[in-house]
Each structure stands twice: as C-alpha cells, then as structure tokens.
Structure 1
C-alpha cells in the first residue's frame, strides 16, 4: 500500500472507531446518515474493479462514502483521478465535517466540493463536458430530486458506466430508479451489494438506516448498483412503460 492510500485508510479507521468530530445530533445521527463501513468497502471494491478515474458523488455529509471513493481512485492509480462531490449543506448543515476529513486524508488534491444543489451543479458539469466512469447518489430522497439527479447523471456517466444509489429501500428512491430501469435499459448488478447492509421490514425510518449488514440478515438491500446501457439513444415518444410500485 502506498503512503497516500495508507493515509486514507487510517482516516477511515479513525472515523469508524471514534466517529466524526462534530455531529448534528441527536446521538445516532452519524450512524443514521452515513453509509455503513461494510457498504463503503463494497463500494470501494466495485469502483476498483471498474477501474474508475472520474467519479461524481451527490451528498457528502460526514464523508464516509467519499473516503471510500477516494481510496478506490488512488488504488486504481489513473493518470488524472477526479472526484466531484456535490453538497449544498456541507457548510451550514454539517460544519464542513466531511470535507475536513477528505482534506485530512489528503484527498483534496483529487477531490473538489461543489456547494450548490445538484439540480444546479449537475447541468453545469454536463455543459462543461465532464464525463464520469461512475456516480454515487446519496442526496435528497424526494422523488423529483432523485429523478432529476439521475436524468443528468445519465448524460454525465459514460455509456456502460455505473450509478450506485444509497437508501434504495426508500419508496421515492426506488420508484425513481425503476423508471430508468424499465424505460431506458438500466441494468441492476445484484452481486454488487448482495453481501451489503439489508434493511429490515416493518421498522421506523431511522431504525431502518441502522440495520447491520453481512450474512444472515434479511430484508431489502440498502444500496443498488445499476449499469447504463452502451446505447444511449432516446426511446420513441410512445415507448413508455409504467414504473409505479404496482406496475
């Protein structure tokens, strides 16, 4: 392991052991919001296997997933690794906790933080010619905002690239992704998070977010990875497949 990678791993270890230096409260806010360490490792390994060089991330919060993405980019060792992170609430909502951890890990040399809503930042990235190998989406869970994120990421992520979503168990997230699966040929990669966190049924939202992953846990997968088709032609106007829960 090179020195840069070891620095990131050490930062991740300390975040896992001690938690962040600041949280919004209540006491379990960090555990509820942050992608579990097990899933962070699966995300890292998936991105390494894809040999990614450019990743767009929507939502930074406490920085757990961003550190894993940074570790993957360093492990791949591309000539120009780039990590674009979008979070309009990082300053006021999270006191820059996630960004400070990226700086502490030395990842600010490959990462950039856009402090704007993704509905503004993603169109600008598209207009500027950004092409990503993969994206990780953990921003707003409102249906219309998830849908818009995916609309622009479909144009930013390269044909055949990956989009990974956290909290796929949420009806708003799951419904938004289902449109693209049924109408635009996005393909689920079940093996990517088959061993990841699963969300138990019949419990409150905050509790759902804290269900541990690993073997022997039943319920809905927390994360979903999808692959974009290599052919990004638009469907015909009348080629529409309903995508609601009962469709």
Structure 2
C-alpha cells in the first residue's frame, strides 16, 4: 500500500470516529466529546507535524485515539524511511478498554507505533536512557501539575533541540503553570499561531476569564543548556 492510499484510509477512520464515536466509551455522559481532541485540533496538529517533517513522535495519553490517528496520519504523509510513534498510556487497557489502540491497529499504524502501558513518569526516563530522540511530542496525559512538570522535564531531553512539544488542555491552570516554567526559565518559545482556528476554552473554565486555544505548541531551544540556579525566574 502506498503512502497516499494509507493516508486516505487513516483519514476515513478519523472521519468515522468523529461521525459515529468509538465502539466503546466509559459510562460518563458525553465522555468521548469531553476527552478526545476535537477534529479541528487534530487537523492542526497533523498539519504542524507534517510541516516539521517529523519522523519520530512521542505521545503521552492515548484514550480514544483521536490525536494518535492524526499523528499517525502525519507520519505517513511525511513518509520517512523508519517512522516511529511512541505512545504512553498506563490505563489504555484498564480504563479505556484498548479502544484507541484497536483503532490504530485497524489501519496498520501499529506497525510503526509502540504502546507503553506504564506511567509516563516511570517510562520517559527509560526512553531517555535508551537514547530515544524525537522530533516532537504531544502531551495529553495527567493534568496534575507535578505530573505535567515531570513529563516536560524528560521530554525536553528526549525531543531534539529545535523540536516541538505540543500540550493539550492549555486552558487548565495546572498545565499552563507547568509550561510557564519551561517558557520563562528554559527558553521554550510558544508558537502563538500554531492552533489558530482551533478550539477555544476559557482559562480554568471560568466564563469571566479570557479564552485561549485548547492546544499550545512550543519550540525548544537550539541547544540543551542548563541555566545557573541564580537565574531562576518565578513562574
């Protein structure tokens, strides 16, 4: 199967997922619509990764698979010789009944994808020790501040200098605060236009607060440099 045909199959599965929903959902009202990355944001994520020419992507959080399919489509479109998609979701089987992974398998994306059902705080340092180097990462795992902070700590060493880290749910105070440390202290540069036209959310779900794009992309510095502790900037 050629890359064009394969990409078409993935796109069709993505459309069906949006139209019909997944084959299984958790017993919470509108759980898929609440949890899954919306189609417009998936398209913007896909297009951003294609523009970057990515070959290796790390994803934290699989759930229903909408973002993973978009990342898989991007890797097929770029068509590098050995694409790699490393997906981390400790609860894919126990909480999500493997529904996201089965969608990946249904279009053959499991051939170049690796699912790690271990907590990201435990497996990211292992990937770093293995020497994994990624072009980009997409983070949609735990939204607890300390766990987001740890994910980003290891991803800044796994994603190559100049690569991308994309965060979902940047409207949540915990995610925004964790990312702000890396922006203020480690030279991460926000790409403010990357998700123009995407989903907007009120910060903290407070209707009186400003609206921001659901996703936020950061460009890492051209070199991995550890700043002196005296240069710390409050965040």
Task: Output one character per residue of 1:7-66: Cα deviation in whole Å (capped at 9) or x when no partner.
Answer: 111110110110000000223000000000000000000000000000000000000000
Give the number of equivalent residue pairs. Answer: 231
How has the CA–CA distance of structure 1 residues 179 and 201 changed in structure 2, closer, same or farther, with 3 Å as cutoff?
closer
Separation in 2 of the partners of 1:90 and 1:202? 27
Query: Aligned-residue CA RMSD in angstroms?
Result: 1.4
Contact 2:171 2:202 in 1 (8 A): no
Correspondence for 1:213? none
Secondary structure of residue in 2 paired with 1:145: helix
Give yes or no for the alignment of 1:120 onto 2:112: no
* Offset from partner CA, 1:159-194 (integer Å, 9 cap, x none): 000000000010000000000000000000011012
SS at match of 1:169: coil
Q: Do the aligned partners of 2:171 and 2:203 also contact (CA within 8 Å) in 1?
A: no
Indicate conservation of the 8 Å contact 2:167/2:217, yes or no: yes
Judge conservation of contact 1:7–1:106 (CA < 8 Å) in 2.
no
- 1:230 matched to 2:225? The reply is no
SS of the residue corresponding to residue 230 of structure 2 reads: coil
Three-state SS of the structure 2 residue aligned to 1:191 is coil
Deviates more, 1:195-204 or 1:137-146: 195-204
Aligned mates of 2:223, 2:76 — CA distance in 1: 30
Q: 1:235 to 1:203 in 2, by over 3 A?
A: closer
Pick the aligned partner of 1:89 from 88, 91, 108: 91
Taking the aligned partners of 2:196 and 2:5, their CA distance within structure 1 comes to: 31
Q: How does 1:40-189 map to 2 (within 5 A)?
A: 40-189=42-191
* Deviating 4+ runs (over 4 angstroms): 201-204
Judged with a 3 Å threshold, the aligned counterparts in structure 2 of structure 1 residues 160 and 104 are, in CA distance, closer, same or farther, namely same
Change (3 A) 1:121 1:203: closer
Distance change in 2, residues 1:112/1:202 (3 Å): closer
TM-score (structure 2 length as normaliser): 0.95
Q: Distance in 2 between matches of 1:137 and 1:130?
A: 17
- 1:124 CA drift (Å): 0.6
Task: Report the 3-state secondary structure (helix = DSSP H, G, I; strand = E; otherwise coil) of the residue aligned with 2:138.
Answer: strand
Q: Of 8, 11, 36, which residue of structure 2 is paired with 1:9?
A: 11
Question: Gaps (5+ residues) in structure 1?
Answer: 209-217
In structure 2, list runs of 5 or more residues that go unmatched: none
In structure 1, what is the equivalent of residue 231 of structure 2? 239
CA contact (8 A) 2:172 2:203 kept: no
- Cα offset, 1:202, TM superposition: 7.7
